[in-house]
Amino acid sequence: MLPSALLPSATDHVPVLAEEVRLALDVQGGETVIDATFGAGGHASLLAADLAGHGRLIAVDRDPSVRPFFESLRRRHGGLCMRFLRGDFSLVLAQLAENGMEADAILLDLGVSSMQVDRPERGFSYAADAPLDMRMDPSEERSARELVNETDERELATIFRRYGEERYARAIARAIARRRREHPFTRTGELVETIKGAIPAPARFGEGHPAKRVFQALRIAVNDELAALEDVLPVALDMLRPGGRLAVISFHSLEDRIVKQFLRAEERGCVCPPDFPICVCGHDPSLRALSRKPIRPSAAEVALNPRAGSARLRAAVKV
């Protein structure tokens, strides 16, 4: 962990779709707000300002290295009731719900944070040679190194195809299995070179880095991200008070599809078969989406922050 003196404050961190999130969550003084993916605290800083010293902000993150960011935020908003809870957001929110916690606004900013990507020793980036890790919570037992070295070749290909939508999944898995028999993987650079060598030459110079999809797939698998997302959405909805707002930022189609399908299912009323003469399911809509399509960052934001380019925001109000 970096010394706190070297850590930037949340005011230095530029959160994605910042104003769009503020508009969607419409935080008012006196409300209870949960930032379930605190990270460097960029969004939380804005939401804390909207609370105007009255209300409660709960920050959740599985990465222990974010704690100094939270302490910095708490010092700047000393009059606000604030708590930091470390853990997988699906488990933490489930525990809060079991204890009767209700919220007026919940934010989920999915994927890997900039501070994780920008610290090479965490092993998330394919752009720098580093230990092959990718754990959002360093206390977890299985890192990307164990997954790459110990997973069956066929299962590896499935992971690359399912979570990375990698066209050359089988060839890459085969090359990994062949290399690890002689030299187990320990570094991201070794994996990048193996991926490059496994795919056709034209694909190495196509759109994006050739290792991008495999690294995404490994990160999702190591941190069980999609299962956690599927688990947390119904819990978050249950925690919201009537009129409460949910905002979810995703960065790839797998996440966005899960969020979209959940919101649309909860927007529906009767789910009886169309040939039933009367409704017997008693299902009522539980939320109202704020827009049918995801909200995307402006060209100006992407120009200032290229990492925002793939961000998609979906938001809804509990009815």
Q: What is the DSSP string of 9-58?
A: PTTTS--TTHHHHHHHH---TTEEEEESS-TTSHHHHHHHHHHTTSEEEE
Find how far residue 111's CA is from the centre of its chain: 3
Residue 309 has pLDDT above 70, yes or no: yes
Q: Do 213 and 255 belong together in one domain?
A: no
| Pair (273, 173) in one structural domain | no
Please tell me whether residues 259 and 241 are part of one structural domain: yes
pLDDT tens digit sequence for 64-112: 999 999 999 999 998 899 999 999 999 999 999 999 999 999 999 997 7
Residues 147 and 21 in one domain: no
Residue 276 has a pLDDT of: 80
Q: Would you place residue 13 in the very low, low, confident or very high pLDDT band (cuts 50, 70, 90)?
A: low
235 and 102: one domain? yes
- Cα–Cα distances (Å) from 121 to 1, 60, 62, 118, 259, in that order, read 10, 23, 17, 9, 31
pTM for this entry: 0.89
Task: Answer yes or no: is pLDDT of 12 > 70.
Answer: no
The whole-number pLDDT of residue 3 equals 37
Task: Please give the pLDDT value at position 5.
Answer: 36
Q: What mean pLDDT comes out for the span 104-124?
A: 84
Q: What is the pLDDT of residue 119?
A: 82
Q: How far is Cα of residue 105 from the mean position of the Cα atoms in its chain?
A: 17
Q: Does 236 lie in the same domain as 151?
A: no
Q: Supply 224's token pair.
A: 């069980």
Tell me, yes or no, whether 44 and 175 share the same domain: no
Could you tell me if 72 and 200 lie in one domain?
Answer: no
Residue 11 has pLDDT above 60, yes or no: no
Q: Which helix (H) or strand (E) covers residue 258, if one does?
A: helix 253-267
Q: Is 182 helix (H, G, I), strand (E, B) or coil?
A: coil
Identify the CATH number of the domain in which residue 281 sits: 3.40.50.150
Q: How large a percentage of the chain has pLDDT more than 70?
A: 95
Q: Write out pLDDT tens, residues 241-294.
A: 999 999 999 999 999 999 999 999 999 877 778 778 778 777 789 999 999 999
**Which of 193, 223, 253 is the last residue before a domain boundary?**
223
Q: Same structural domain for residues 126 and 218? A: yes
Task: Mark whether 11 and 100 lie in a shared domain.
Answer: yes
- Which range is least confidently modeled, 97-101, 118-122, 168-172, 194-198? 118-122
Least confident of 10-24, 64-78, 140-154, 233-247: 10-24
Rounded to whole angstroms, the Cα distance separating 90 from 235 reads 8
Task: Give the residue from 188, 206, 223 where a domain finishes.
Answer: 223
- In a shared domain, residues 210 and 230: no
Q: What is the CATH number for 200?
A: 1.10.150.170
Place of tokens 């700047």: 76
**Given 223, 245, 268, which residue is the final one in a domain?**
223
Confidence check: pLDDT of 9 > 60: no
**Is 245 found in the same domain as 219?**
no
User: Which residue segment(s) compose the domain that 151 sits in?
Assistant: 122-223
**Mean predicted lDDT score pLDDT of the chain:** 91
Domains identified in the chain, total number: 2
